[in-house]
Amino acid sequence: MTSHPRTWHIHNLNLVAEECIISLGALTVQDGVIAAIHEHVGTPEVAAFADAADVVIDGEGGYLLPGFIDMHVHGGHGADFMDATPQAYDTITRYHAGHGTTGMLATTMTAPQADIEAVLDCAARYREAEMPYAQLLGVHLEGPFISPRWPGAQNPAHISPPRPQWLAQWQRQWPDLIRQVTLAPEAEGALPFVAALHEAGIIAAAGHTDADYDTIVEAVRHGLSQAVHTFNAMTPLHHRQPGTAGAVLTTDAICAELIADGLHVHPAVIALLARVKPPEQLVLITDAMSAAGLGDGQYALGGLDVTVRSGEARLTQGGNLAGSTLTMIGAIRYMHRVVGVSLPDASRMASGNPARRLGIDGHTGSIAVGKRADLVWASPELEVRRTWVGGRSVTEG
């Protein structure tokens, strides 16, 4: 990691704001906060900001984006959040910070209660200390309250119906730590459980679900508000049976997670999703597993063997897709270059929208004066050059 200058100034790059790109602008950070955004460089005022800065950086014609927030990520560079150690969490947050992520939800797998509680305890302790890389914003429980008909890469041996008593215990022991719970809304007792999540301020998300259209619509009335890795591990769209996918497409209250890697969803279907969802109701995620950043080989996910070939992760037995090796900057590039989404829109899906979902958009998620300097400097080819969290560089360079 590099030092943390009190004031720094970056110029000669394109600032990706929520609605537009400020061409060849500049930005000044003071005490970890965005102090000024400069659209008209070369003026005495901008020169004064640069002269007063401790460090001045030439952006070399690249881009400055708000830091990415990954609401669904399992691991990276050989580590998994289920490892439940500070060393593993350092490895994951360091790796993804190197690809532009400044905040994330530690995402679990379907597992025994004790293993899930080990993650909750480790995440709580990790958040109490100074987090040196990307910040853990909380925990996303992906299971165990899912459908045995749609396990995906989750271990079916540990699938459970909703357990309100577990949630109550976890909330008492680790208050405000759980930010999202993935579940199958059709399970017995799921709708009251969704309502309890909503009442507690926890995102209730449909995933690994056999629910039909009507069940999802009813779950929304109880507080369901998100769909997990949309189109994957859910009942598909059919013109007479719209299924979970049809409910996600047509219900504005549902925010759709998307793995934009060209493997999980065809680009034409991604384009359809982007057209029909309200602009604030689509979030990019990685669903990255421990193999991210390490190349092809044999790995494990939730106790199941995974084979990675050409960057594609699948269960060794059965062949189901098993998370991904995607990074957030990779998702941005795919959305922009392949799907044709504008860079400000892709950036909003990776930063502003997840920040709003988590209720932290008042201080992060976009480039604006007064917000925390969670920023990504990328080359003109959209390769990450440096990442800052609260104005502090968390990557080499």
CATH number given to 7-65+365-393: 2.30.40.10
CA neighbor of 354 nearest in space, from 220, 205, 215, 214? 205
Would the annotation count 157 as a binding residue?
A: no
**In this predicted structure, what is the pLDDT of residue 18?**
87
pLDDT category at 42 given cuts 50, 70, 90 is confident
**In this predicted structure, what is the pLDDT of residue 64?**
98
Would the annotation count 322 as a binding residue?
A: yes
Tokens of 210: 């056999």
Q: Regarding beta strands 68-73 and 282-285, do their DSSP bridges make them parallel or antiparallel, or are they unpaired?
A: unpaired
Would the annotation count 237 as a binding residue?
A: no
**In this predicted structure, what is the pLDDT of residue 3?**
53
| % residues pLDDT > 90 (the chain) | 94
Domain range list for the chain = 7-65+365-393, 68-357
Q: Which residue has the higher pLDDT, 107 or 41?
A: 107
Q: For residue 144, say if its preceding peptide bond is cis, omega within 30 degrees of 0.
A: yes
Q: Does the structure show a pLDDT above 90 at 100?
A: yes
Taking the C-alpha atoms of residue 37 and residue 220, their distance in angstroms, rounded to an integer, is 40
Q: Does the structure show a pLDDT above 70 at 99?
A: yes
Would the annotation count 323 as a binding residue?
A: yes
* Average pLDDT for 127-136: 97
pTM over 0.95: yes
CA neighbor of 213 nearest in space, from 186, 182, 187, 253? 186
Amino acid code (one letter) for 77: H
pLDDT category at 2 given cuts 50, 70, 90 is very low
**In this predicted structure, what is the pLDDT of residue 227?**
98
Active site residue 214: no
Average pLDDT score over the chain: 96
Reported as a single tens digit per residue, the pLDDT across 52-61 is 999 999 999 9
Lookup result for tokens 């480039």: 367
Taking the C-alpha atoms of residue 280 and residue 393, their distance in angstroms, rounded to an integer, is 29
* Average pLDDT for 288-297: 94
CATH number given to 68-357: 3.20.20.140
Would the annotation count 240 as a binding residue?
A: yes
Among the options 212, 261, 287, 345, which is catalytic?
A: 287
pLDDT category at 1 given cuts 50, 70, 90 is very low
- In eight-state DSSP terms, residue 124 is H
